[in-house]
Amino acid sequence: MNLSTIVAGAMHMARWKLTPAERLAWIEDCLALGITSFDHADIYGDYAVQDLFGEALRLKPTLRQQMQLVSKCGIALPSGQRPEHSLKHYNTSAQHIRASVEASLQALGTDRLDLLLIHRPDPLMDADEVAHCFEALQREGKVLTFGVSNHTVQQFELLDSRTPLSTHQIELSALHTDALLNGTLDQAQRLRRRPMVWSPLAGGRLFSDTGEQVARTRTALQAVADAHGVSLATAAYAWVLRHPSHPHLVTGTGRRTGLQEAVTATQLHLSVQQWTRIWRASMGHDVA
């Protein structure tokens, strides 16, 4: 799997209200900054984001050779786009996975996905069925690599025992630190498979929330930002990047300045004490 360290998340593209040409400009901005990987899911934007991205990419289709496209499947949402879904549920049947892949390929205007993730754990997942489906899609050249998102260590191990998984996309930020101690990142290091991290800025809470934890963490991050002459966002990205599992960061910004803040973080190395001060602020107490 050959993703850029910073991955451009397209989850909110429908909210940006951009023209196709403006969406293409965003794609080109990402590529110019060295952000070559783009993160999607079939459900994003009420099943519309992949179409929006594909519409822009068709304006300059040669860019496809410069990028990696990631998508996710397995969540079924009630939607006018999917009238057969009467309630939100998980579906990792081979039929659903294949239908999602075919729809993603058509929407994105591509012949392949570089990476496909199972979006959420499915209690009814048949690991053998999923593995056989993955292997068939790979033989057909429709998906190059596979992984999961938001799974536990045990859930990852189950599917990985049937077919090799390339990565695990997880939530991690200075405000959401569960992965540090629940074995997820230990597993990533043990297997030498770089994780992907979503919401590294805690969904924007680092900037807007007024709670005690956020206030403490923001103060600690700002001290690091000031010491290095970077933005608060760059310091927050750098805190996640400091982990030795070498995570890929999925950033959901539509702004070039926001993209640049993430890229700048790849050159910022926090000391152990700087990193720990931020972690301690988030926890609200000293390390044990």
Q: What is the pLDDT of residues 13-56, one digit of tens each?
A: 999 999 999 999 999 999 999 999 999 999 999 999 999 999 99
**Which ranges of 109-211 does DSSP label H, i.e. alpha helix?**
127-139, 153-160, 184-191, 205-208
pLDDT attached to residue 1: 75
pLDDT at 226 over 80: yes
Q: In terms of C-beta density within 10 A (0-12 exposed, 13-18 middle, 19 or more buried), how is residue 80 classed?
A: exposed
pLDDT averaged over every residue in the chain: 97
212-228 and 272-283 helices, crossing angle to 10°: 160
**CA torsion, ordered 195, 169, 184, 248, to nearest 10 deg:** 30
Place of tokens 């103060």: 219
Q: Kindly state the average pLDDT of the residues 268-279.
A: 98
Yes or no: say if 213 and 282 are a contact pair by the CB < 8 Å rule: yes
pLDDT at 8 over 90: yes
250: left (phi over 0), alpha (psi -120 to 50) or beta: beta
% of the chain surpassing 90 pLDDT: 99
Q: What is the band of 155 on the pLDDT scale with cuts at 50, 70, 90?
A: very high
pLDDT at 288 over 90: no
pLDDT attached to residue 138: 98
183-205, pLDDT tens digit by residue? Answer: 999 999 999 999 999 999 999 99
pLDDT attached to residue 130: 98
By annotation, the residues acting in catalysis are 44
Measuring CA to CA, which residue among 101, 11, 13, 107 is closest to residue 54? 107
Which of the four CATH numbers 3.30.70.1140, 3.30.70.520, 3.20.20.100, 3.40.50.300 does domain 1-165 have? Answer: 3.20.20.100
In sequence order, the 6+-apart residues with CB closer than 8 A to the CB of 151 are 118, 121, 159, 168
pLDDT attached to residue 265: 98
